[in-house]
Amino acid sequence: MKIFLDANILVAVLNKEYPLFTYAARILSLGANNKYKIYTSPICLAIAFYFAEKKHGTSTAKQKINLLSSNIFITDVGSDTVIASLQNNKVNDFEDGLEYYSAQKSKCTLIITEDVDDFYFSEMEVIKSKDFIEKYLV
């Protein structure tokens, strides 16, 4: 199963934001299991870096992003992703469109986010972290 993680899941892990941290960390750990591939986009990493830097400083934020990046797959966000996001009239938030189309391009099965409503236009499953664990892991 290919799983795309939205920025809020990454931020929860990098900044140990409870109670979300518990679920998000468990999902990230699935990357060690051959049954799962964990993806995110460069945009999500940039957002996560911003919040980690605010809380921990630049050096620690870079270390955290480096460790995170070495344990997950990073999607491509190229001109085709930009064009797809702009051409879909259902997409109101450009950043969400970029994340969605980069996940789709990488053939992800679902998106895990705490802001499910942001992906109202999605044709793939969009689920909260706790709900993912209850549905797929319990």
- Looking at the chain, the whole-number percentage of residues with pLDDT higher than 90 is 99
Domains of the chain, start order: 2-137 (3.40.50.1010)
Q: What is the mean pLDDT of residues 88-99?
A: 96
pLDDT, one tens digit per residue, over 33-66 is 999 999 999 999 999 999 999 999 999 999 999 9
Q: Which of 42, 29, 109 is nearest to 74 (CA)?
A: 42
Residue 125 burial (10 A CB sphere; 0-12, 13-18, 19+): middle
C-alpha to C-alpha distance for 88 and 92, rounded to whole angstroms: 9
